[in-house]
Structure 1
Amino acid sequence: MTFKPRIALIIGSTRPTRFADKPAQWMLKQAQARDDLEVEVVDLRDHPLPFFAEKASNLWMPSQDPEAIRWQQTIGRFDGYIFVVAEYNRSITGALKNALDQAYVEWNRKPFTAIGYGGLGAARAIEHLRLIGVELQMVPTRSAVHIGGGDFMAVAPMGGNKPIEDIEANLLPSAKAALDDLVWWAKAAKAAKAAET
């Protein structure tokens, strides 16, 4: 039987007025159109995590906070991740950074990609996410989807507020590349883990 990676599409903004739902739903549609992965939305709004206050990372000792433990159990079920990334002051949101910090073991040796949005397509935030991912022993893929510049202004609520389908011709090649990379690395990681046992 062919391994079909289970992927979490993690919405990394919790603001009431967030734009994240629009690119999240578009990326979900792209992933669901494929037959080589299974995808599920994981919304940080559904995980009211406290600011990280454990004695140490769960690499070193089990977490105590019930929400942190529930978060770890949620993300631990997946073989890889797609992060929906807003760029706040050249980085990821505080909510996403806190969620990343609330786990360690569950992220290890799993790949991720991203769909980011903002003036520069969240390029700086996604680069920052990749650095954090390396420290968490994740596998950051090369390809990602960037909604920036005129495309972002066309679909953002404070711009044209058009549907993403109006700009999707510009996004489809990078979405395909990002998902291809994610599936390849998820399969490679699974095979490597199986070889260790």
Structure 2
Amino acid sequence: MSSPIRLYMSMSLDGYIAGPDDRPGQQLGRAGGRLFNWLDGRKSGGPSGQVYREAPATGTVISGWRTFKLAGRRQGDHHDGVPILVLTHYGDEGGDGDVPPGHARFVTDVEDCARQARAAAGDRPVMVQGAGAVRAVLRAGQIDEMEIHLIPVLLADGRRLFDHLGPDHIELDLVRRLEVRDVTHLRYRVRRPGEAA
């Protein structure tokens, strides 16, 4: 099997991945930092530590342009030099007329991006980040798994993850559930259309 493309995202119970007014200097929006309190347990031997230690096994990152820009263009690096494929409508110069730094490349076609990401990842998973990129890759039928870090908070406003997916529903199979006090780590397999449970 080729490398799985996996969404990794911390999300509030009401579906937000950032609070309102996310912008440079306030990348997670107002109150959005609450979604990452679970990282306080990343050095533990518990479930959150396990999930955190799995992320560096990523072979390639697919990022949305907005996420890439808010993250300071990742200074051209992410996860020790793995390729970063930035989905953008702007072509080779991204959205600011500049070439991508370091290990980053701009890609405009979603399916081509998925092919490049799988090829570059080898036998490791591909990480997808950013609401816009997630929706585009999911609509294209290219996401294999979803790793959702579900946080017991209602943000009530901000940037939602699963808005505007299109008319077709998507079936998911739960393959892992790890629970601690401040987060439930859920991994789902995305079922292909017509595939039985």
Q: Same fold (TM over 0.5)?
A: no
Question: Larger % of strand: which?
Answer: 2
Higher RCO (CA-CA < 8 Å; seq separation 6+): 2
Question: Larger % of helix: which?
Answer: 1
TM-score with structure 2 setting the length: 0.35
TM-score with structure 1 setting the length: 0.35
